[in-house]
């Protein structure tokens, strides 16, 4: 119900877009900053009654707050950061911008054309309140937007046809993969998977770490956490588990997926079609060998070919392939009379002379 309501209000656009408009963020931050100055002014006016606290003085103060807020926010580029990825660095930049704004405001109020000015204690306390209220509201606004985004994403994931996956490994590449999949509508990472005996509960990137020792562990995890697939971050990880985890998952009908290298990721996003099921080539530890069929056909065309063990599984398939190469004559040799007879009938029917 919440998801439908938010979708009608257009909140889905928030998820589908890369980020909010920078100028919209600047405008919102400026409004919050001016509102904080207004709140601080009302508090100081109540604590320190003074004849200078008139409507004109309030307008003068708010106008200065608006202009200086825009200047300092542009100077520190606080509106350029993607809010849902806010880090401590962005918080420091925001704090520095607010502090500089109030230092300039302190100078600005000294230029007020009327006198007497309010006590310096009242002015200093007012700007301290302005800094605290502004920082509190700006950080609360960003936190609220992050929570709102996470709720939207969670509701969309629940309503979307997405796979629940465990990422193999706990290394840097595995953690980075989880970050890249954070906004994916197709895959939901519910935890990490690593080999070993479970000693205590661990969590990485706010997701639990699960352990496995044998195929019964995989079966238990499949039933307990309802996983659709195991996702490998690198080919090396997949190769190291081909005789263990991959074998277990194949027996328990759990899909094995592999992600593309980082240089194939577009704008930090993994496309749905980029993640694929693991293939035998991924486990070979070498590039796939490309075979030129034209050269092979040229070697056998118009020649007499003698095939030993022709009735066996490999020999019979070899004969079927050779029959398409335009050979002059195909001689079959095997000690199995019945399978040889069956193969001869098949070749005569499919490839008549």
d(CA 160, CA 84) in angstroms, rounded, equals 21
Provide the percentage of residues in the chain whose pLDDT is more than 90: 18
Under DSSP, is residue 258 helix (H, G, I), strand (E, B) or coil?
strand
DSSP designation for 205: T
Instruction: Report the pLDDT value the prediction gives residue 110, as an integer from 0 to 100.
Output: 78
DSSP designation for 278: -
Q: In the chain, where does the domain assigned CATH 3.40.50.720 lie? A: 163-284, 293-350
Residue 63: pLDDT band (50, 70, 90) is very high
Residue 144: pLDDT band (50, 70, 90) is confident
Residue 90: pLDDT band (50, 70, 90) is confident
Instruction: Report the pLDDT value the prediction gives residue 100, as an integer from 0 to 100.
Output: 94
d(CA 148, CA 151) in angstroms, rounded, equals 5
Residue with tokens 């100081």: 44
d(CA 102, CA 69) in angstroms, rounded, equals 9
Full-model pTM? 0.47
Structure confidence by residue, pLDDT tens digits, 216-268? 887 777 777 778 888 998 888 888 888 888 888 887 778 888 887 654 554 44
List the beta bridge partners of residue 189: 165
Structure confidence by residue, pLDDT tens digits, 273-325? 567 777 655 665 566 667 778 888 888 889 999 999 998 888 989 999 999 88
Distance of CA 309 to the CA centre of its chain: 54
Q: Which tokens sit at 294?
A: 């034209």
CB proximity list for 7: less than 8 A, separation 6 or greater: none
Under DSSP, is residue 347 helix (H, G, I), strand (E, B) or coil?
helix
CATH number of 293-350: 3.40.50.720
Instruction: Report the pLDDT value the prediction gives residue 136, as an integer from 0 to 100.
Output: 94
* CATH homologous superfamily of 163-284: NAD(P)-binding Rossmann-like Domain (3.40.50.720)
pLDDT of 15 strictly over 50: no
Task: Report the candidate in 199, 194, 226 with the shortest Cα–Cα distance to residue 211.
Answer: 194
d(CA 223, CA 150) in angstroms, rounded, equals 27
């Amino acid at each position: 119900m919440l998801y439908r309501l938010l979708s009608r209000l257009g909140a889905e656009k928030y998820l589908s877009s890369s980020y909010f408009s920078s100028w919209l963020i600047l405008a919102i931050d400026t409004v919050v900053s001016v509102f904080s100055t207004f709140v601080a002014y009302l508090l100081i006016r109540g604590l320190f009654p003074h004849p200078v606290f008139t409507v004109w003085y309030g307008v003068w103060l708010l106008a200065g707050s608006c202009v200086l807020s825009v200047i300092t926010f542009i100077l520190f580029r606080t509106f350029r950061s993607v809010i849902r990825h806010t880090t401590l660095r962005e918080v420091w930049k925001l704090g520095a911008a607010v502090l500089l704004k109030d230092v300039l405001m302190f100078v600005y109020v000294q230029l007020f054309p009327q006198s007497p000015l309010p006590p310096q204690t009242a002015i200093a306390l007012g700007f301290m309140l302005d800094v605290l209220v502004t920082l509190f509201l700006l950080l609360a606004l960003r936190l609220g937007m992050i929570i709102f985004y996470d709720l939207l994403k969670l509701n969309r994931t629940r309503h979307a046809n997405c796979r629940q996956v465990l990422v193999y490994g706990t290394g840097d590449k595995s953690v980075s993969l989880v970050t890249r999949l954070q906004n994916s509508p197709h895959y939901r990472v519910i935890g990490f998977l690593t080999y070993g005996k479970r000693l205590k509960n661990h969590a990485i990137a706010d997701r639990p770490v699960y352990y496995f020792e044998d195929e019964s562990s995989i079966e238990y995890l499949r039933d307990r956490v309802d996983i659709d697939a195991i996702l490998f971050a690198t080919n090396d990880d997949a190769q190291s588990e081909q005789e263990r985890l991959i074998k277990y998952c194949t027996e328990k009908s759990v899909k094995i997926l592999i992600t593309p290298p980082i240089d194939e990721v577009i704008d930090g996003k993994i496309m749905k079609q980029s993640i694929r099921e693991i293939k035998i080539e991924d486990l070979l530890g070498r590039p796939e060998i490309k075979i030129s069929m034209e050269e092979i056909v040229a070697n056998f065309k118009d020649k007499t070919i003698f095939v030993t063990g022709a009735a066996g599984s490999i020999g019979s398939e070899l004969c079927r392939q050779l029959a398409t190469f335009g050979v002059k004559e195909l001689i079959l040799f095997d000690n199995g009379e019945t399978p040889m007879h069956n193969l001869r009938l098949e070749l005569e029917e499919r490839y008549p002379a």
